[in-house]
Amino acid sequence: QVQVEESGGGLVQAGESLELSCTASTKYLDLYALGWFRQAPGKEREEVSSMSRSGKKTHYGDSVKGRFTISRDDVFVTAYLQMKQLTPEDTAMYYCALARGLAYDDLPVRASEFDFWGQGTQVTVAS
């Protein structure tokens, strides 16, 4: 069992930036594809971004393309989500997740492929 923990959430003003971090209780983060999800009150969970084990392939949800950037540092066993030009519509609980068993350059295609999830970090964007 891998423990996942997000950090970096908070309250920001519209237009500002925020970076989320995700750490995992494993020495081998390179065995896992990464994903960031979010869920706002009353809304379904949506995938924000994902990254392959190699780091060469990424996917972004339409609502965050061009504003959010996913990255990973396997040496420090940390994943990041850089968020820019935040809007109130980005307000949500953000979750980091790890998917095992995928090929090096494959992206997860559905939430059910993720095996380990964090408890989430709240991001609130004030208008």
For residue 124, which of 6, 10, 14 has the smallest C-alpha distance?
Answer: 10
> Over the stretch 11-51, which tens digit does the pLDDT of each residue have?
999 999 999 999 999 999 999 999 999 999 999 999 999 99
> Over the stretch 106-126, which tens digit does the pLDDT of each residue have?
999 899 999 999 999 999 999
pLDDT at 74 over 90: no
* Beta-bridge partners for 5: 23
